[in-house]
Amino acid sequence: MEFNKILQQQKEYSLSLLQKDVARLRSEGRDIIDLSIGDPKDVTPDNLKKNLIREVENMTHSQYPVSGGDADYLNSVARWAKRIYNTNLDTKKHIFSCSGTKEAIYKMPMLLDWSNGKKIFIPSLSYPVYEESARVFNVPVVQLPISKESQFLPDLNSISEDIWKTCGLFWINSPHNPTTAIASKAYFEQLLSLAKRFDFLVCSDECYNDIYYTGQPTSCLEFDDSIQWIVFRSLSKRSQMTGLRVGVVISKNEVVMAHLKKMRSAMGVGTPTFIQKVAIPAWDDDISLKKSSEIYKQKRDILLPVLKEKGFQIFGADASFYLWFSHPKLPTSQALYDYFLDHDIVIAPGYAFGSDGEPYARMVYCETIETLEKAKEKISKFRPL
C-alpha cells in the first residue's frame, strides 16, 4: 500500500507532541502543571449538562443532521450577529454550522482553484492548522513575517503588488493565537480593500473574539458591505464547549457560501442536532459570555504580575487566554520551555507556531483557578536569572 506522500512528510502536530511530553513526565511521577494547550478546564455548567440530557431523552429516533445546520440554531446565530454587530444575516445564505471551526478551517483550501498559481497567505506565527491544511491540499503558502516590531501582525504595507496578485486566500486571526495581537479596524479596512483590489478571500478566524478585557476586537462582521471575508466563530473557548465541537461559518458572499455548502454537503460534517440545540443558549446569553471574560481576566491576573516580577516581558494580553512572553536571559523559546519544565510547568515554545516563534513562548490561563494558583506559587519560587 502506498500512502499519501504529503502526509508521510508531515511532522506530528506540534501541540500534540507537547501533550506526549506531559503524559511521559506524569508517568515518571512528576507533578506537572500543563499550561500548553488552549482547552478550558472549567467544570461544565450544570444547565448545559441538563440541556444535553433533555435533548438526548427527547430524541425519538436518531437522524442525520442537516448539513449546514438547523433553522433554530442558525437563527440564534443571526440574532447574536444582529445584537452585537448590527448586521443582518440571511440564515439560508450567509451562515452554516460546523463541527468545531477546526474542521471547517482545515477544508478551506478545497474551495478554490489553485491551478492558476495562487497561494495561501499565512502569518509566520499561527495556529498550525492553516499551514498543515495548505500542505495536505498541495497549495503553496506565503509566510508573512510577523515580529514584535510589526505588533505581531503581518505588515500589509511591506507586501508588493506582484505578491498581492498571487494571493488566493489570506488567513487572519485576531485576537491572535499565540501572540494575543489585536488587529485594529483600520487594519481590517486596509486588508479588505486589498482583497477587493486583488480578488482574494480573507479568512477571518475569530475564535477568541469574545474573550477580551479592553474593547471588543474588530470583527469582519462589522464590514457589512464587503463580500471579501468569511468568518469562523467557535463556541469552544468563549463558552467552554471544546468537547461538543460546535461553531459557525459566516459570509455575506453568497457565491462563496453556495460553493462551500455544496462542498461540505458530501463530507458528513453536519453538527449533531442535539449539540446544535444545546448551543443555542450559548449564542443567546450575552450575560454569561461577559462573565466568562471576567473570569478569564481574573485568571490572567493570577499569573501576569508574578511573571512580570520575575523579569518576563509580556506582550498584549488584552484578549484570549494566552500569555505571549520572552525573557532577556532566556534567549530561545527552547530555553524558556526548559526553564519552566525544570519547575514542572509545561508551556508551548514559540517555535511550535512557526518560524518567527523565537525567542518567545506561550502560556495558557484557561486552567482552573486552583491550578493557576499552584502555578503562581511555583513561578514565585523561580531562582533569580
Minimum CB separation from ligand PLP for residue 176, in Å?
8
Strand-pair partners of 358? none
Where b means 16+ CB within 10 Å and e means fewer, 70-97 reads beebbbbbbebbeebbebebebeebbbb
Minimum CB separation from ligand PLP for residue 11, in Å?
18
CA distance 249 to 227: 14
Q: Which spans of this chain sit near ligand PLP (rule: CB under 6 A)? A: 38, 100-102, 105, 127, 173, 177, 205, 207, 234, 236, 242, 247
Minimum CB separation from ligand PLP for residue 291, in Å?
20
CA distance 81 to 108: 23
Minimum CB separation from ligand PLP for residue 164, in Å?
24
Helix/strand/coil percentages in the chain, nearest 5: 45, 15, 40
Per the CB < 8 A criterion, the answer to whether 229 and 204 are in contact is yes
Residue closer to ligand PLP by CB (options 74, 105) is 105
Q: What is the DSSP letter of 44?
A: P
Residue closer to ligand PLP by CB (options 133, 150) is 133
Minimum CB separation from ligand PLP for residue 287, in Å?
22
- Is the omega angle on the peptide bond into residue 359 within 30 degrees of 0, that is, cis? yes
Residue closer to ligand PLP by CB (options 179, 234) is 234
Residue whose grid cell is 514559540: 350
For the four alpha carbons of 205, 208, 213 and 215, in that order, the dihedral sign comes to: positive
Strand-pair partners of 362? 324, 348
Residue closer to ligand PLP by CB (options 243, 305) is 243
Strand-pair partners of 35? none
Residue closer to ligand PLP by CB (options 122, 330) is 122
Minimum CB separation from ligand PLP for residue 15, in Å?
8
Q: What is the DSSP letter of 299?
A: H
Q: Three cell numbers at 136? A: 495536505
Residue closer to ligand PLP by CB (options 267, 385) is 267
Residue closer to ligand PLP by CB (options 242, 326) is 242
CA atoms within 13 A on the CB side of 331: 0
CA distance 262 to 179: 35
Residue closer to ligand PLP by CB (options 124, 236) is 236
Strand-pair partners of 133? none
Minimum CB separation from ligand PLP for residue 99, in Å?
8
Residue closer to ligand PLP by CB (options 41, 374) is 41
- Is the omega angle on the peptide bond into residue 65 within 30 degrees of 0, that is, cis? no
Minimum CB separation from ligand PLP for residue 187, in Å?
17
Type of residue numbered 15: L
E strands present in 161-277: 167-172, 201-205, 229-234, 247-250
SS3 39: coil
Minimum CB separation from ligand PLP for residue 128, in Å?
9
